[in-house]
Structure formats: structure tokens, C-alpha cells
Amino acid sequence: MSYYDFLFVIEVLVGGLLSGVMYSLVAIGFVLIYKTSGVLNFAQGSMVLFAALTFVSLVERGIPFALSLLITFAVMVALGFTIERTVLRPLVNRSPMTLFMATLGLSYIIEGAAQLIWGTQVHGLDLGIDDTPFEVGGILISSFDLLAAAIAAAMVAGLSAFFYWTRIGLAFRAVADDQFAALAVGLRLPRIWGTVWTAAGFVALVAGLLWGARLGIQFSLSLIVLKALPVLVLGGFDSILGAIVGGLIIGASEKLAEVYLGPFVGGGIEGWFAYALALVVLLVRPSGLFGQKTAERV
């Protein structure tokens, strides 16, 4: 292997890792809700679309950036509590499959509402972050991707601190461990769920802005859930650390596979390669690399 080939491998690896961070951003939203309510929220992608579309529509109407961000966050808080009140609360104690189907329906409703309220036009989103690459030892690195990675890292650190060092975080963990026990000690489950959906809405807003700056704000934003699902399977549905590590593994491996295996099988393999990898992990570790192992007495 020549020096140039070696550099190229490193470049593919770095590019994959940075892409993986973007997948993790979406996956974290899933983890937050799954951790506290056991619901696989299929509507997370639609929430990303809704948040980004709301934000960009406000900015285009002349509302300042910071105020638009604040209003959008308020909208996501309202959305989170509305979902809790109208969807989750009536379905409490239903099977996980029922709740999953409910979020599937919710996904279509949010997508439709986003387009109904803000229209179907594609929007550009300029966050003011320069996206011209810079060279480090012969490797081109995207400054935008680096910043996105830094934002994701900050968000993970913030969420971790929130979970471990705040009273509400402690309540989240109690609910995640055992909902009935949490109820028995007087925790108000609806309020906690509402707050968790709000936190997921915040994650959706951040993911929506970063992904929106890459893809444009358009309907396809909601499809980024397809990138998050193998990350969750691999990392574990209830682990924020798992979402990060899973994202990095999926991002790096799918890029390496596309570049080095793709030419032998006709190319275009990264779409399914991530799922194949996740499936292998599922066979070996059903709860993912970092997911909580559960055992039930039968």
C-alpha cells in the first residue's frame, strides 16, 4: 500500500466517523424517549423535519435567528406535551407494539402538518458555517462536519450531566428503571414523559438545523431516521453512549465498505450494509453493544 493509498484510507475513515456523528444526533432523540417510556418513537424523523421547517420558515419571514430558534423550541415544547397528552397518556399500559404503531401514525401526522402549515417548497439553510474543506497532512476535512461533531459532543455531555446531576434527570432514570416503582414513590409520570418529549424535540431541532444545512430543508429530512435505526440496533436503544459509539461504527464501516467492497458488487451498498452490520450485532448481542440486558421470569 502506497502512502497515498494509506492517506486515502484515513480520509475515508475520518469522513465516515464524521458522518457517523450526524447519525448519532438523530439516534439520541430515539434513545431519550425509549429510555424513559420504552417507546420506539418512529416520529423522531418527522420531528426533525417539523423543527427545521418551522425554524427556516420563521427566519424567511424576517424573524431574527435567535428569536426563531427560541420560538421553534417553544413550538417543540408544545408539541412534546401535546403528544404526551393526546397520544401517550390514553395508551398507557398498552403493549410496546401498540405504542410503536401510534408513533408511526404520529410520524405521518407531523409530516403532513409540517407541509400543511409551512408549504412544500424546498428551502436552503445557511447557518453561517463555512463548509470549504481544509487540509491536514494531505487529508481534506470538512469544517462544517467538525463543528457538527463538536455540537454533538457538547449535547451528549449536556444530556449526560442532566441525567446524572439534576433532580429531574434522577426522576428520568427512576422511570427508565421501573415505571411502576417510580409511580409508587410519587413521581408524576405524565410530566416526566412530557419533559422527555420536549428534550427529544430539542435534539430534533439541533439535528434538523445541522442536517438541514447539509440537505436543505425538505421532506427528505424525515428519512434520516433510516440512518439512525442501525445505529440504535448496534449501540442499544437505551444508551446515549451507545448511540454515539454506534454512530461512529456505522458511519466508518459503511463508508469503508462502499469504497472498498462496493466496486466488487456493483456499488451502492452503504444503504443496506449498515443494516447488515446491525443484524450481525443483533444476533450476537440482542440488546446492542451498550443496551441494558433484560431478563424476564417465565
Partner 1 sequence: MTFFSHLRKAAIATAFVLGATAVHAEEQYFPLQSYRVGPYAAGGTGFFGGFIDYLNLINIRDGGVNGVKLAWSEGETQYEVEKGVEVYERLKSNPGIAAWNPLSVGIAYAMIDRITDDKVPLITINHGRTDTTDGRVFPYVFPLLLNPYSETSGIVNYIASKEGGLDKLKGKNIVVLYHGSPYGKETIPIYELLSQKYGFELSQIEVPHPGNEQQAQWLTIRREHPDYVVLRGWGVMNPVALKTAQKRGFPADHIIGNVWSNSEEDVIPAGDAAKGYTAITTQASGERYPVVQEIVKTVYGDGKGNLEDKSRIGSVYHNLGIVNGILNVEAVRIAQAKFGNRTLTGDEVRWGFEHLKLDPARVEALGAKDLFHSINVSWDNHEGDGYVTFQQWDGKKWNVVSDWIAPDWKLLRPIIEKSSEAYAKEKGIKIRTAEDADAVVSN
Binding stretches for partner 1 (CB under 8 A): 8, 11-12, 15-16, 18-19, 112, 115-126, 131-133, 140, 142, 144-145, 214-220, 223-224, 227, 254-255, 258-259, 262, 266-272
> Which is nearer to partner 1, 127 or 157 (by Cβ)?
127
Task: Between 168 and 215, name the residue whose CB sits nearer to partner 1.
Answer: 215
Rank residues 15 and 208 by Cβ distance to partner 1 and give the closer one. 15
CB of 14 to partner 1, least distance (A): 10
Identity of the residue, 88 or 125, whose beta carbon is nearer to partner 1 in the bound complex: 125
Nearer Cβ to partner 1, position 78 or 161? Answer: 78
Q: What is the three-state SS of the chain?
A: CCHHHHHHHHHHHHHHHHHHHHHHHHHHHHHHHHHHHCCCCCCHHHHHHHHHHHHHHHHHCCCCHHHHHHHHHHHHHHHHHHHHHHHHHHHCCCCHHHHHHHHHHHHHHHHHHHHHHHCCCCECCCCCCCCCEEEECCEEEEHHHHHHHHHHHHHHHHHHHHHHHCHHHHHHHHHHHCHHHHHHCCCCHHHHHHHHHHHHHHHHHHHHHHHHHHHCECHHHHHHHHHHHHHHHHHCCCCHHHHHHHHHHHHHHHHHHHHHCHHHCCCCCHHHHHHHHHHHHHHHCCCCCCCCCCCCCC
Q: Cβ 197 to partner 1, closest distance in Å?
A: 23
CB of 132 to partner 1, least distance (A): 7
Q: Min. distance of Cβ 135 from partner 1 in angstroms?
A: 9
The least CB distance from residue 236 to partner 1, in Å, is 22
